Amino acid sequence: MTTWLITGCSTGLGRALATAVLEHGHNAVVTARDTAKVQDLADRYPDTALALALDVTDDAQVTAAVAAAERRFGAVDVLVNNAGYGYRAAVEEGEDDAVRRLFDTHVFGTVRTIKAVLPGMRARRSGTVINLSSIGARISPEGSGYYSAVKAAIEALTLSLRKEIAPLGIRAITVEPGAFRTDFAGRSLTQAAEPIADYADTAGKRRKEHDTVHGTQNGDPAKAAAALIKVVESEDTPYLLLLGNDASNGFRAALDALRADADKWEPVSRSTDFDA
């Protein structure tokens, strides 16, 4: 039996994962900013679930949540940084306060929880850190520059983390989901308040009022949860796990485009060293 601490469990992938972990007989610290939204899981699994209030932008709450998890279950074996939300805006439309909140939640929130669990994992020389990214980090659609940026930051951070903690017996994994049938494109999606007309045919097409995808996504959250548990239980874990056919296709298309660009400009790239 392992103990999982999962952020953002009120809806979507976080809730599906918390439910699957508990159904598999593991301990789960299920967190949300409003504990009322996850209390039913603690009531259903009173011996193995702990519901906690957690806003990942609050240092004190992060510290308290990890301490409570360790008191109840002894240790945090798996940390899943899932808390977050979407934000759509052309880069020029992005509102400073909204962008700062986005980075504080996704990037610095992830850093806060990692720093809180690593001392215990280092002491035990074991543990797994899973950081949720998005295929958006790879394909960067119009209107999702800021969201793609926070996810790209998480991916770069996770790769360095993986190299730092692997010798200590701890694993770090980035997960890039595609579109899943969650509330991400509904309640969890925010956007710039004032659109700029010049971006109507690019970023503007992806505003909430024009979004027809919500509720029709191909990704099944329950299958994503099963995949994550399978990966954690595997001995050889990947750095990057793609979830969904759209993520797999988008990832490969993006790599092909980058390689083609690098090949085209390779003579220029190789022309900038000092002459031998």
First-residue to last-residue Cα distance in the chain: 59
For 146, phi then psi, to 5°, come to: -70, -40
**Closest C-alpha among 49, 13, 64, 60 to residue 219:** 13
Q: At what angle do helices 145-165 and 96-103 cross, to 10 degrees?
A: 20
Mark whether 115 is an active-site residue: no
Catalytic residue among 10, 146, 151, 199: 151
User: What is the rounded CA–CA span in Å between residue 271 and residue 254?
Assistant: 25
CA separation for the pair 26, 100 (Å, rounded) = 35
Annotated active-site residue in 133, 134, 144, 148: 133
Distance of CA 163 to the CA centre of its chain: 19
Q: Catalytic residue, from 144, 147, 148, 199: name it.
A: 147
| DSSP at 107 | I
Q: For this structure, is 271 an active site residue?
A: no
10 is known as an active-site residue: no
Share in percent of the chain as helix, strand, coil (round to 5): 50, 15, 30
Residues classed as catalytic: 133, 147, 151
